[in-house]
Amino acid sequence: MAIQWFPGHMNVTKKAIIERMKEIDVVIEMLDARLPGSSANPMLAELTGTRKKLKVLNKQDVADPERTTEWLAWYNAQEGTQAIALDAGDTAPAQRLIKACRELAPNRHGMDKPLRVLICGIPNVGKSTLMNTLVGKKAAKTGDEAGITKIEQRINLASDFYLFDTPGMLWPKITIEKGGYHLAASGAVGRNAYDEEEVALELLTSLKGPYPHLLAARYKLDKVNEIPSLHDEVLLAEIGRKRGAVMTGGRVNLQKAAEIVLNDFRSAILGRITLETPAEFEQWAAVAAEAEAERQRKKAERSKKKGSGRRADDDAADEQAD
């Protein structure tokens, strides 16, 4: 099952970004530090073109610090891009993005040339919390549900620093399947767009290799060394038993177990976790690109065959008319 979620207001956001981009100097893209590749919007890269970019790995306080370092190096190696990690609720680190934006656009300062910054990101990545931290008041709505912000907002962080906030936006077609599951696990996707049990199983696949000790500690699982080799459904069932998600007859309620796992990940009860490395994500992206190319090739072939069939029908009709 592929994860897809692109409600109508996101298309409106896309159009607003295209219009706003005409006057923007720097684009801040907030990423989830627990899934820095999967939470980067490929459509945003197309919309922003050659604008200077600041990648903000938010929620770094609940991400794996070693993997965060890897991702910062990966993004900082990209042309015209800087990357920093922060926790949107922490006032001191939040101020770092203002400094980083000025470094990216050093010629934009003063009332005659104010620095105009657009901040974007997927739903539920923490943009609104960051905005409120920056201005010191409730400037934007916050919540743990995808799609809270639905209108563009402008906040003046200084007399010559304009920050435009946009609603959270995904992209019309998520081609990297693993990335789609990670987005759903993080809460970036609307609940009606995925099956919680399936997403929980995929989440356990990502967790049991690098973080078996965290799973064992949280769910009091025995034989931590055997966790990486357990089948995902067996692991989910064992978690359900340990957490009391048992129905009459001793059967495990896998739906309830899935809800427990997803909630524990989203609330960071499991510990500091990052679901992907740059190398892993690049591999998934390459596989997805190859699959998409093959899909387009087959689509072109079908179109060509249909065209040939129509031409044959037209020729037959012409012969009959003659």
Please report the pLDDT score of residue 37 as a whole number: 97
102-139: per-residue pLDDT in tens?
A: 999 999 988 899 999 999 998 889 887 887 777 775 44
Name the pLDDT band for 243 (thresholds 50, 70, 90). very high
- Look at residue 320 and tell me whether its pLDDT is greater than 70: no
Partners of 28 in the beta sheet?
Answer: 54, 119
Q: Is the dihedral of CA 65, 46, 11, 195 positive or negative?
A: negative
Closest CA to 117 of 18, 28, 47, 31: 28
Q: Which of 167-171, 226-230, 307-311 has the lowest mean pLDDT?
A: 307-311
pTM of structure: 0.85
Structural domains of the chain sorted by starting position, each given as residue range(s) with its CATH number in brackets: 9-165 (3.40.50.300), 195-266 (1.10.1580.10)
The sheet carrying 161-165 orders its strands as 81-86, 52-58, 26-32, 115-121, 161-165, 153-158
Q: What is the mean pLDDT of residues 60-88?
A: 95
**Segment holding 239, helix H or strand E:** helix 232-242
- Cβ burial 77-104 (10 Å sphere, 16+ → b, else e): eeeeebbbbbbbbeeebbeebbebbbeb
CB 194 within 8 A of CB 1: yes
How far is the C-alpha of 129 from the C-alpha of 127, rounded, in Å? 5
Please report the pLDDT score of residue 46 as a whole number: 85
The more confident residue out of 93 and 210 is: 210
Contacts of 4 (CB under 8 A, 6+ apart): 172, 173, 174, 180, 193
Name the pLDDT band for 255 (thresholds 50, 70, 90). very high
